[in-house]
Amino acid sequence: MNYTEIAHDVEKYVLHTYNRFPIAIESGQGMRVKDVAGREYLDFMAGIAVYALGYHYPGYDEALKAQIDKVLHTSNLYYHEPLARAAKAVVESSGLDKVFFTNSGAEAVEGALKAARKYAWLKDGKNDHEIIAMAGSFHGRSVGALSVTGNDHYQEPFRPLMGGIKFAEFNNLSSVEALVNETTCAIILETVQGEGGIHPADKDFLQGIRKLCDEKDIVLILDEIQCGMGRTGTMWAFEQYGVKPDILCCAKALGCGVPVGAFVLNEKLAAASLAPGDHGTTYGGNPFVLAAVDTVFKLFEEADILDHVGKISGYLAERLDDLAARHDSVKAHRGLGLMRGLELAPDCPVGQVTSKALEKGLLIISAGGNVLRFVPPLIITEKEVDEAVAILDECL
Ligand SMILES: *Cc1c(COP(=O)(O)O)cnc(C)c1O
């Protein structure tokens, strides 16, 4: 099918919840994708921070093909080797103790919220437990995850949502302290807010929250669905803050292209929260997706991806600083590692910049607050940074 035929049928048959860019992607290789007309694009959005290893990274496809030839799906009623391998990799990398695999980020958040509520319920048997979340956050579109997403526009048509949620101001510790009471069971936040406009947590803020949670036995849930898996230069962004969550949520780059997420619990939560009968999933963590997760961890280590991110992210940051200095339309540059944002002036709508960039052969997306979002594959090199910056220079 050509682009016109594809777009026609998609618009005719698919529920219109996305305004799509006007290209149809056919294939990818490394840092680039090709559309059905044969045109190539440099990819700086990586399937929204999913394709950490880019397209067809050597060894990835082979591992998945081998798993297809064995078994795709078994149900969680049976043991399988990819589960053993992937669970060990995720748990050891996080320094936490037990993992539950899901199909998506939203489901990882749902599971984390349930675990926190159950932990509090086991302590006092009450049903009044509150959760504190952050303004400007994003945790997913399912009802539980949406309930802790601090964005009125996303929430409004769907109220009433899950009860017992209060919102504090991100990077304002006293606003969190003011909401804590004897019913508070959890605090959930992104270590680096993604969708909300690329805002890293301040060190004092996150350390203060950890201390507060320790003092009051409140569950700290860190959502690293977007900022985890090496994106900020460490496997998990929290490693740079000297804190550890009680529950970690991950997804996006966890499987580098297959739909998989996870929530990971420390020993305390694992021992006293979800038990047989409390939680489940038909597909979650099936052999196919976990063969991918296992392979991703192996490839990250073999290629020393974290070391590469450490080196290349400084170069990207420099080039973006330079772009910000040369264009009045760029108001600020923020980020950590290969997760960065350029905040644009109100008279420079980010949608126009991403559309212009597409015309010039660059895939890049926005984030909230008129921000141009940079989440390229972690295998990016200086040459590709230069290419993207040159295109954006023209667009701005
Ligand atoms: C993408 C994202 C989610 C939701 O993940 P889905 O797989 O789309 O459900 C949750 N939290 C954060 C921080 C995200 O970036």
Is residue 368, in this structure, part of any structural domain at all? no
Is residue 128, in this structure, part of any structural domain at all? yes
We report the CATH number of the domain holding residue 183 as: 3.40.640.10
Q: Which of 18, 110, 139 to mutate to test the pocket of ligand 1 (most atoms within 8 A of CB)?
A: 139
CA nearest neighbour of 223 among 262, 260, 167, 257 = 262
110 Cβ closer than 6 Å to some ligand 1 atom: no
Q: Which of 139, 188, 225 to mutate to test the pocket of ligand 1 (most atoms within 8 A of CB)?
A: 225
CB burial class (10 A; 0-12, 13-18, 19+) of residue 293?
A: buried
Whole domain around residue 261: which residue ranges? 80-302
Is residue 385, in this structure, part of any structural domain at all? no
195 Cβ closer than 6 Å to some ligand 1 atom: yes
- Ligand 1 atom nearest to 145, measured from its CA: 10
Write down the pTM of the prediction: 0.98
106 Cβ closer than 6 Å to some ligand 1 atom: yes
Is residue 253, in this structure, part of any structural domain at all? yes
Is residue 61, in this structure, part of any structural domain at all? no
Instruction: Report the separation in Å between the CA atom of 145 and the middle of ligand 1, taken as the mean of its atom positions.
Output: 9
At 133 the pLDDT is: 99
Cα distance between residue 261 and residue 110, in whole Å: 11
Q: Which of 18, 48, 107, 138 to mutate to test the pocket of ligand 1 (most atoms within 8 A of CB)?
A: 138
Angle 264-335-304 (CA atoms, 0-180°, nearest 5)?
Answer: 60
Is residue 91, in this structure, part of any structural domain at all? yes
At 378 the pLDDT is: 98
Size (the chain), residues: 396
Contact 347, 377 (CB under 8 A): no
Cα distance between residue 353 and residue 344, in whole Å: 10
Is residue 190, in this structure, part of any structural domain at all? yes
- Ligand 1 atom nearest to 141, measured from its CA: 9
Q: What are 362's strand-pairing partners?
A: 42
At 337 the pLDDT is: 98
At 270 the pLDDT is: 98
Kindly report the average pLDDT of the chain as a whole number: 98
Omega prior to 160 cis, within 30 of 0: yes
At 365 the pLDDT is: 98
- Ligand 1 atom nearest to 48, measured from its CA: 1
- For CA atoms 211, 214, 218, 223, the dihedral sign is positive
User: What's the total number of domains in the chain?
Assistant: 1
CA nearest neighbour of 252 among 269, 237, 270, 242 = 237
Confidence of residue 266 (pLDDT cuts 50, 70, 90): very high
Is residue 49, in this structure, part of any structural domain at all? no
Instruction: Report the separation in Å between the CA atom of 350 and the middle of ligand 1, taken as the mean of its atom positions.
Output: 21
At 185 the pLDDT is: 98
Q: How confident is the model over 284-315, as pLDDT tens digits?
A: 999 999 999 999 999 999 999 999 999 999 99
- Ligand 1 atom nearest to 195, measured from its CA: 15
